[in-house]
Chain A
Amino acid sequence: MPKIANHTSSPAIKSYIAVFSARFRTLLQYRAAAFAGFGTQFFWGLIRVMIFEAFYRSTTAPQPMTADEVITYIWLGQAFLVLIPYQGADPDIRAMVRSGNIVYELVRPTNLYFFWYSRAIAQRTAPGVFRALPMFIMAGLFFNMQMPPNIPTACAWLVSMLFAVLISAAITNLLNISLLWTISGEGLGLLLSSLTWLFSGIIIPLLFFPDWAQATLNILPFRYILDIPFRFYLGHIPPEEIWYHLPFQITYLIALITAGHLILTRGIRRLVAQGG
């Protein structure tokens, strides 16, 4: 063994990919959770579909989406529920902060924000693998879920979904970072995940919110996690408008990452003040 540490020149991205893939594989192991999750989301989806069907049968007023569109929108929501950071922060990071093992995160030759961000991306995708596909099959075959009407629509949807994952992971990472403020941070984190829940469109499609709320919803980044991608999927937003929405998604992504970075830097200084 040479006495001087051998410094390799491979790019830093390798570290982050390794962490992402380790986390992804670990999360895939939770098969029981995946089946239970699928079951719950499937039946929950059925209930929501029935509520909207009842609503459409009883209303004569013009609605912002057709009944078929809403049904597909609902099934998409059930399929991609894991995009919403509803369980809060990464449980491993929570444990690390509590136990103090976080010191080891700080002796890694990586940027801590992106180290955790890689984990967050895994957390927002891996659990979906065993949920989204069965949901598409079940709801598509038996419950009137539509496929994208054409290729450009599907492409626009995929692009906006990709950024939806990245934005959602950035929000998840904010929740992770909030753990550094122990009690008060967890409260704010919970608030943030409730806001995401409410304003992403998972409860009701955002267009069904009252008119006075629309302006606010349009300013918030949350609609880019579910609502906008889903409307691309439906063709409700024409595919060429991806050029209008993409810059917003990218801007929100950069803003969330920058904010996370700044908060993390402050949090580390603070955390350390509790150590010793």
Chain B
Amino acid sequence: MSHITVENLVKTFQIAQRQPGVWGALRGVMHRNYRQITALDGISFAIEPGELIGYIGPNGAGKSTTVKVLSGILVPDTGRCEILGRVPWKERIAHVAHIGVVFGQRTQLWWDLPVIESFDLLRDIYRVDHHQYAQTRDEMIAILDLESLLDIPVRQLSLGQRMRCDLAAALIHRPSILFLDEPTIGLDVVSKLAVRDFIKRLNQERDVTVILTTHDLDDIEALCTRVMVIGQGQILSDGPLENLRARVTTERRLIVDLEGTEDITDPDAHVVLRDGHRVHLTFDPDRIATADLIARITAQHPVRDLFVENTPIEEIISRLYAENR
């Protein structure tokens, strides 16, 4: 049985529209225009235990809405959703005891309390057994390197420190499913790597199912075995990262640093970018083998350096979005 089953979820929001200006505000008192926004337009997927899933899409595509429905905060208009055998919004209290949620732009820690007191409070709120709590807490402190932060009130933490504490807080009750909504947003490179590393360990060593929404495609490339792309409330693509690449394009990139600044012309590749000595070429590996192309170019031009890249994932995603516009 799947961990998470979602079938045909639909969620629309009513947004009150205000007219600009004083006259508009006055009219708004008497009569409001509502605009319907379809945040989720029939979403279906199934997730097995232990998967680490990247959930990506442009702003407003419905990522956060999905996470909120799955965590029992929002009630969808229609559709079915079952997580660990429960319908989140119908059995909210039982459901949330088994999931952990991190919203990257918010904190669940008590602003004025030292970090450790927030953890203690969460232990009581989730009614975690004291022995088990001590064990989980110490593990989290060790893995996320929180020792020096424990006595600091949350408001004095940097964003990266706070995010590490928030991750620990979401796991105090040992959830088997973890929803991470943009956990790396606004973090510096070091903190990002620490967070990524932690998510990976959590998933691999402890078998926690992770659903990760992000705008940072490096997160996806570093972590996820499966990627779901959402756009305008619909799932555009679902599968391994490689499939996503293949679906949109098989194209590869060859980047050549020449000795000179001459043009490269080749029947099977075309130049997409020139930057001084550096030339970016794209080619289709089905039409010409990478080795052959390199051989041909190095034969014709004095080359200082060259390397082959997959199409950057950003580009793949933006093409996918464009296709579905």
A residues near B, CB below 8 A? 1-8, 10, 12, 14-15, 17-19, 22, 26, 99-101, 103-104, 106-111, 269, 272-276
**CB atoms of B68 and A1 under 8 A apart:** no
Contact of A7 among B65, B97, B101 (CB under 8 A): B97
Known contacts being A6-B174, A22-B113, is A103 close to B68, with CB within 8 Å?
yes
Give the CA-CA distance A132 to B309 in the complex, in Å: 73
User: Across the interface, which residues of B come within 8 angstroms of A275, CB to CB?
Assistant: 64-65, 68, 73-74
Known contacts being A3-B206, A5-B175, A14-B127, is A107 close to B71, with CB within 8 Å?
yes
Give the CA-CA distance A39 to B99 in the complex, in Å: 48
Q: List 8 A-B contacts (CB under 8 A).
A: A1-B139, A1-B174, A4-B176, A5-B97, A5-B173, A5-B176, A109-B126, A276-B64
Give the CA-CA distance A17 to B132 in the complex, in Å: 20
**CB atoms of A18 and B125 under 8 A apart:** yes
Known contacts being A5-B174, A7-B97, A106-B72, is A18 close to B106, with CB within 8 Å?
no
Residue from B13, B65, B124, B136 having most chain A Cβ neighbours under 10 A: B124
Give the CA-CA distance A17 to B125 in the complex, in Å: 9
Give the CA-CA distance A100 to B124 in the complex, in Å: 23
Shortest Cβ gap from B43 to chain A (Å): 15
Contact with A along B95-126 (1 / 0, CB 8 A): 01111010101111010110001000100111
Known contacts being A1-B139, A5-B97, A276-B13, is A10 close to B208, with CB within 8 Å?
no
Shortest Cβ gap from B133 to chain A (Å): 10
Residue of A nearest to B105 (CB): A100
Contact with A along B42-85 (1 / 0, CB 8 A): 00000000000000000010001100100111110000000000
The 8 lowest CB-CB distance pairs between A and B, nearest first, are: A18-B124, A109-B97, A104-B108, A3-B207, A106-B73, A10-B127, A5-B98, A15-B125
**CB atoms of B125 and A276 under 8 A apart:** no
Give the CA-CA distance A4 to B128 in the complex, in Å: 13
User: Across the interface, which residues of A come within 8 angstroms of B72, CB to CB?
Assistant: 106-107
Give the CA-CA distance A8 to B173 in the complex, in Å: 10
Q: Does B93 count as interface, using CB distance less than 8 angstroms?
A: yes
New A-B contacts (7) at CB < 8 Å, excluding given A1-B135, A26-B112, A106-B72: A8-B129, A10-B129, A19-B125, A104-B101, A106-B71, A107-B71, A276-B65
User: Across the interface, which residues of B come within 8 angstroms of A22, CB to CB?
Assistant: 110, 113, 117, 121
For B, the interface residue count at a CB cutoff of 8 angstroms equals: 48
**CB atoms of A273 and B103 under 8 A apart:** no
**CB atoms of A276 and B174 under 8 A apart:** no
Residue of B nearest to A103 (CB): B73
User: Across the interface, which residues of A come within 8 angstroms of B64, CB to CB?
Assistant: 275-276
**CB atoms of A101 and B107 under 8 A apart:** yes
User: Across the interface, which residues of A come within 8 angstroms of B99, CB to CB?
Assistant: 107
Residue of A nearest to B140 (CB): A1
Known contacts being A1-B139, A6-B132, is A99 close to B124, with CB within 8 Å?
no
Label chain A's interface by main secondary structure: loop
Give the CA-CA distance A272 to B11 in the complex, in Å: 11
Residue of A nearest to B88 (CB): A107
- Beta-carbon contacts under 8 Å, B181-217 to A: 206-208
Residue of A nearest to B14 (CB): A273
User: Across the interface, which residues of B come within 8 angstroms of A26, CB to CB?
Assistant: 112-113
Shortest Cβ gap from B234 to chain A (Å): 16
Give the CA-CA distance A276 to B68 in the complex, in Å: 8
**CB atoms of A111 and B176 under 8 A apart:** no
Give the CA-CA distance A26 to B153 in the complex, in Å: 13
Shortest Cβ gap from A216 to chain B (Å): 31
Q: Does B37 count as interface, using CB distance less than 8 angstroms?
A: yes
**CB atoms of A108 and B75 under 8 A apart:** no
Give the CA-CA distance A181 to B107 in the complex, in Å: 23
Q: Does B244 count as interface, using CB distance less than 8 angstroms?
A: no
User: Across the interface, which residues of A come within 8 angstroms of B98, CB to CB?
Assistant: 5, 7
User: Across the interface, which residues of A come within 8 angstroms of B105, CB to CB?
Assistant: 100
User: Across the interface, which residues of B come within 8 angstroms of A103, CB to CB?
Assistant: 68, 73, 101, 103, 106
Give the CA-CA distance A192 to B73 in the complex, in Å: 29
**CB atoms of A1 and B136 under 8 A apart:** yes
Give the CA-CA distance A5 to B84 in the complex, in Å: 11
Give the CA-CA distance A106 to B37 in the complex, in Å: 23
Q: Does B297 count as interface, using CB distance less than 8 angstroms?
A: no
User: Across the interface, which residues of B come within 8 angstroms of A7, CB to CB?
Assistant: 97-98
User: Across the interface, which residues of A come within 8 angstroms of B107, CB to CB?
Assistant: 101
Shortest Cβ gap from A188 to chain B (Å): 16
Known contacts being A8-B129, A109-B94, A110-B93, is A104 close to B103, with CB within 8 Å?
yes
Known contacts being A100-B106, A275-B68, is A107 close to B127, with CB within 8 Å?
no
Q: Does B39 count as interface, using CB distance less than 8 angstroms?
A: yes
Shortest Cβ gap from B185 to chain A (Å): 14
Residue of A nearest to B109 (CB): A104
**CB atoms of A276 and B129 under 8 A apart:** no
Residue of A nearest to B118 (CB): A22
Give the CA-CA distance A5 to B174 in the complex, in Å: 5
